[in-house]
Structure 1
Amino acid sequence: MTQTHKKRIGFLSFGHWARVQGSRVQSAREALLQGIDLAVAAEELGIDGAFFRVHHFARQQSAPFPLLAAIAARTSRIEMGTGVIDMRYENPLYMAEEAAATDLISGGRLQLGISRGSPEPALDGASTFGYAPSEGENPGDMARRHTEVFRRAIAGHGVAQADPSFAGGGTGLLPIQPTSPGLSERIWWGAATRATAVWAAEQGMNLMSSTLLIEDTGVPFDQLQAEQISMYREAWAAAGHGFQPRVSVSRSVIPIVDDEDRHYFGLRAQADSRDQVGMLEGALSRFGKSYIGEPDTLAEELAQDAAVQAADTLMLTVPNQLGVDYNAKLLGNVAKHIAPAIGWQDTRRQEGSRTSA
């Protein structure tokens, strides 16, 4: 399938907070408010997206919709979303209402990443929330079942039988309210293997791929991820969905431009410069390298990253505990010195040119 989406860049914040020396995010309130402020700053820099990790029972963001709605109300252009919501934990109909309301506030800018979830602190956190697999299911099956109900709901399908005494004698199934047209085409599945990427394509969801794949074939991470993207697009074309999909990949990109950058990340430049392979949840897994160094060097390296080139959206993981000012500087340096090398353009300049013309 021919790729026609423009190249976008966004930030992905893990939303950590901690009362420790050096942290500029000491509390949950600070993490939320700084998330909003960073999204506003990113929009001013021309960045295309503000995304947040969702993780329960940890000092991170766990309830994303109030944060995303606040960002929607403070911005006008930037996309906002998640990377990713663990669907094992979700009441899919309540989540559909929250997602639709948030998308309406944003004017259709919500990009919602969901998945089966990642390793977590709780032994069986979803059951604590009241959700357990049905007979014959595993937790992944339950997450997919929740996803199916959620996607039908946001698409406007009826989900509850009408009570004729309250509906003027009407019968049939009622949809959730509100609904937000177009949201059903802006759901992304976080896939950690090539097989789950193919499944996401068959289901008609966009693809979100991070810096970890829970499989390894011995090839460099970017090549394995590019193969995942290629298989996804082939499966999408075979499925014949009525819209073009989007694909995102995540990378840690830290340009070293001053003494502050060298203080925080100078020693990591060599240590994190190659892939890592290890066991995760019993599976041999490959972790992608970080990009840390001089901007010109990083621009050349990212231009050669097969998966970055194959994707239409690059998510930049940010060290959020260093605060808004540092991360705005980081994003500005990436946008100015590095992102053009992968095909990104500042759409504000294009819009300004059209307006002046």
Structure 2
Amino acid sequence: MERFGTLSFGHYGPLGGGRELSAADSMLQAVDLAQGMDELGVNGVYFRVHHFARQQAGPMPLLAAIAARTQRIEMGTGVIDMRYENPLHLAEDAAAVDLISGGRLALGVSRGSPETVVRGYEAFGYTGSQDPRGADLARDHFARFLQAIEGEGLAERDASSPFGGGTGLQRIEPHSPGLRSRIWWGAGSRDTAEWAGRAGVNLMSSTLLTEDRGIPFDELQAEQIEAFRAAWREAGHPGEPRVSVSRSIFPITTAEDELYFGGRDESDGVGYIDGFRSTFGKTYADTPERLVEQLQRDAAIRSADTLMLTIPSQLGVAFNLRLIAAFAEHVAPSLGWKPTTA
């Protein structure tokens, strides 16, 4: 594990006891948290993207704000639902954020997760999918997005234009040359991981896998990662791709931590999602010393280069920074991590 960061769902709404977390609170606290993590030397801050829900939706303004307030930390998504995206607008926005940040954008995209509405992407104007889950729409949008960020010409120049004219095809602007190498596909199955390897993008392995073979989640995930890397090599792509996994990990160092996270069932879950029988990863909550022992046995964490901690962002900036600092100080170094430096 070379890197670690956080994956936030960005929830807002009632907190109980008459308290309310607003959308503004959620976004402003995310910026403050990212700034604190940057100072700790944490490698990345990533956000779930969900539409028609009290969570983060259009992530680019938030990522741009984080870029302006931080120096080193990578920022990104896990994941943007490509069914909802105009691929060329997304390419423009992503390039702008990448340039503002000095090349620190890591954009995770995919078909997306189950929604709170029925075929919500159609309300955004994206119709014509032949798949009940819109997977064909997501793949088509993604292919167009890759063309754009690779700098491919996509529209015929107007020779009579007063703004440059010329002939041939014009690429999308702005263009960020290094962005293509920092695109990830969020995969919840072995097949989609292999597809990502053939496409030459990094792998963001999901918090669940749509299979249940009676073996632990971490072993299933390690097999998925190896299948991805094999597909990457067979496709002839240069270099080594990045791979991330996400986990709920809570170092228990105070009575408050014990109150929130102690006594949890530390076992994988099995259930149905999107009509598939799926395996879900377990939660790790223990003393730092025991966490090190448990995480060193996690086959997928050993195989990945990046670990994303799913954090309880509703509990506020100070609480989460304390959790992250405890992980950085007492757990992460034993897994191979070193803090970022200027």
Q: TM-score, normalised by structure 2?
A: 0.96
Specify whether residues 135 and 230 from structure 1 end up closer, same or farther in structure 2 by C-alpha distance, changes over 3 A only: closer
Question: Superposition RMSD on alpha carbons, in Å?
Answer: 1.6
Say whether 1:285 aligns with 2:278. Answer: yes
Q: Hey, what's the Cα distance between the residues in 2 that align with 1:135 and 1:308? A: 36
Which of 223, 240, 245 lines up with 1:249 in the alignment?
A: 245
SS at match of 1:82: strand
Q: 2:2 aligns with which of 2, 7, 10?
A: 7
Q: Report matched runs for 1:159-308 at 5 Å.
A: 159-166=154-161, 170-267=166-263, 269=264, 271=265, 273-308=266-301
Q: 1:321 to 1:136 in 2, by over 3 A?
A: closer
Distance in 1 between residues matched to 2:203 and 2:54, nearest whole Å: 27
Counterpart CA distance in 1 for 2:208 and 2:268 is 10
**How far 1:243 moved relative to its partner?**
3.2
Moved over 2 A (4+): 22-25, 133-138
Q: Alpha-carbon deviations, 1:149-206, whole Å to 9, x = none?
A: 0011011111111111116552211111100011011100000001100000000110
**Offset at residue 138 of structure 1 (A):** 6.3
Instruction: Identify unmatched segments of 5+ residues in structure 2.
Output: none
User: Identity over aligned residues, as a percent?
Assistant: 58
SS of the counterpart of 2:203?
Answer: strand
Shift of 1:222: 0.2
Aligned to 1:354: none
Moved more, 207-216 or 64-73: 207-216
Of residues 308, 316, 319, the one that matches 2:309 is 316
Instruction: From 325, 332, 341, give the equivalent of 1:339.
Output: 332
Q: Residues 189 and 25 of structure 1: is their aligned pair in 2 closer, same or farther, counting only changes over 3 Å?
A: farther
Residue 262 of structure 1 deviates from its aligned partner by 1.3
Counterpart residue number, 1:90: 85
TM-score, normalised to structure 1's length?
Answer: 0.92
C-alpha contact (below 8 Å) 1:25/1:321 kept by paired residues: no
Aligned twin of 2:143:
148
**Of 115, 131, 136, which aligns to 1:120?**
115
1:105 lines up with 2:100 in the alignment: yes
What letter matches 1:337 in structure 2?
H
Counterparts of 1:296 and 1:331, CA distance in 2: 15
Give the unaligned 5+ runs of structure 1. 1-5, 352-357
Q: Secondary structure at the match of 2:16?
A: coil
Cα distance in 1 for residues equivalent to 2:132 and 2:142: 14
Q: Give the distance between the partners of 2:129 and 2:8, measured in 1 at CA.
A: 33
